[in-house]
A and B are shown apart, each in its own frame.
Chain A
Amino acid sequence: MKKRILSFAVLCALSSGLAHGATVSDATTVEDLKALIKAQQQELENIKNRLAQYESSRSEQRQTAAPVTADSPVSQEASKNSIGGYGELAYSNYSHGDRDQADLARFVLFFGHEFNDHLRFNSEVEWEHGVTSSEDQGEVEIEQAYLDYSFSDAFNVKSGLFLIPLGLLNEKHEPPAYYGVFRNEVETRIIPTTWREGGLGVHGKFGEGFSYDIGLTTGFDVGKLDDPSEGIRSAHQELTLSNANDLSVYGALNYRAPGLLVGGGIFSGNTGQNGASNPDLADVNARMTLWDVHAQYQPGPFDFQALYARGSLSDASQVNAALLAAAEEEVTVPFAAPKRFDGWYVQGAYRLALGDFTLAPFVRYERFDIEQQQDIANGLLQDPLNKDSIKTVGLNFYIDPQVVVKLDYQKFDKNSDSDRINLGIGYQF
């Protein structure tokens, strides 16, 4: 061992001596030459690396709009800031009535920053509709703003405002990521996409293809519920002065292999918030638990998806009483609170390559059922339109993997007022 270390040290000394500009003479040995060639090959490799990086970052800068930060050299380093975005425009032609509408559904920007190899910041800002003001519908919202620290592939910690890992759409909701102009009803009414909470999460991957994400976050406040047709959605707090007397926990597990995704998640927490927004909810738990299972299977050009989601709200009659009292005081129309809500869909698409374009016809069948806690004496009734099934048929036409033109027809089984043809465009970058 000692002999080997010694001869290695001698070789290092010799090779470093030769590599740094020494000349070859008659006294140079074969060993010296080997060391010299090896050192020169390494230097050549380093130069080629830098040339490749330079050429790549030059063409990358030509392609993307990412700005270079003030303190990084223009040509050598990839920018630590990233800008991305997505947006969608939609036009709907209703089969019944005069409600045809065109809308800039959303305009979103992503900003990210890499502090170092372990720590990064991600954020998402959304503007709903063309104009957001106190007189217009729609909001400007921060949908994500969180820091993520990576200890290893298997162990990462995130904290801030982040998306809850349930469903297929919630975490990946950009227009080219789903079929059809509008997000499906199940992942709008049952899983309240885009659903985000503030808190702490631990996530990572293990095995070959498994990923997990668990955490503690803010939750819903049932005192803020104002629309039972979207399940628990209107009780969301969006980390805006959120009442945090009751927190929630979540967990998700997914498995990915080429052409296959299988997974599920669960979220649970009390929503009474100790009566913070409605004093009649003090001492009411109103626990909300929502879980889903989902799968995506992509053999060759086919793309199949299926999802089932189910939620429940406990103490629904006490929630009813509290909401009724508030409605009487504020002179608004009372409604029956949702107590059990579920939905599922199956979807199939075929991706046909047409040169640089892709044409993807698809069909989707979905059902949702929001069961409300009736209180007939007080006029709190189940709305029959809160249980429906929808058939959607259409096509996505990708003029670029990140830009899509969409056309579809939706037929609602019960709520035929919603039957419509939709046309939309969407992009992401």
Chain B
Amino acid sequence: MQGFRWITGPAITLSALSPCHAATYLTIDQAQAALFPGETLVLQQRILTPEQIKAVEASAKSPVRSSELRVWKSFTGGYFFVDQVIGKHDLITFALAVDGDGAVKGIEILEYREAYGYEVRNAKWRAQFIGKTHAAPLTVDSDIKSISGATLSTRHVTEAVRRLLAVYAIALQP
């Protein structure tokens, strides 16, 4: 047991030197554990109907790229979404957690590839979404502050959250 502990010590330190470019910061499991601690999440098989897609696009003023939803449900009625948006040239993969009342619990950036705009990972920036519901404007320069150097990534992630909350309100809300 002593030997086992000695090996994991430096291994954990080395993993702190994770790569900056094209990095995976959190796996889906880790994000689920961070956003829904102690809860079990069940993968949902959901596909949006064409009517739902139209309604989401009208509500969020943002295009829906895929009819497939990557969403998990918790036993407390919350939802965990995984989605991807473009930063400037590369994709950002993020997770959005919504509680049983449809309010955002948190956002985690899972993968970030670009050299610039990484400020979207800033915890204070992501914390702005906590408590927001489908009713909020969720627009940069309005209720969501931008962060210098990440104009496009902040805009695209904000738009994606707006779209996912519209999906919740139109397709998932009980």
A256 touches B122 (CB 8 A): yes
Majority SS at the chain A contact face: mixed
Residues of A within 8 A of B16 (CB): 152
A258 touches B125 (CB 8 A): yes
B20 touches A152 (CB 8 A): yes
Give chain A nearest CB distance to B55 CB in angstroms: 20
Q: Which of B19, B122, B142 has the most CB of A within 10 A?
A: B19
- Given A84-B88, A257-B122, A401-B151: A52 in contact with B22 (beta carbons within 8 A): no
- Given A52-B84, A59-B65, A208-B123: A156 in contact with B20 (beta carbons within 8 A): yes
Stretch in A25-33, A113-121, A238-246, A419-427 with 4+ CB within 8 Å of B: A113-121
* A122 and B88 alpha carbons, distance in the complex (Å): 14
Residues of B within 8 A of A209 (CB): 119, 122, 124
Stretch in A14-22, A185-193, A267-275, A293-301 with 4+ CB within 8 Å of B: A293-301
B59 within 8 A of A: no
Stretch in A43-51, A126-134, A371-379, A384-392 with 4+ CB within 8 Å of B: A43-51
* B121 and chain A: residue at smallest CB distance: A153
Q: Which of A134-160 contact B (CB under 8 A)?
A: 148, 150-153, 155-156
B148 within 8 A of A: yes
Residues of B within 8 A of A155 (CB): 17
B128 within 8 A of A: yes
B66 within 8 A of A: yes
A208 touches B20 (CB 8 A): no
- Given A56-B91, A209-B122: A298 in contact with B19 (beta carbons within 8 A): no
Residues of B within 8 A of A52 (CB): 66, 68, 70, 84
| Chain A interface residues toward B at CB < 8 A | 1, 41, 44-45, 48, 51-53, 55-57, 59-60, 63-64, 66, 78, 82, 84, 112, 114, 117-120, 122, 148, 150-153, 155-156, 172, 177, 204-205, 208-209, 256-261, 296, 298-301, 351, 353, 358, 401-402
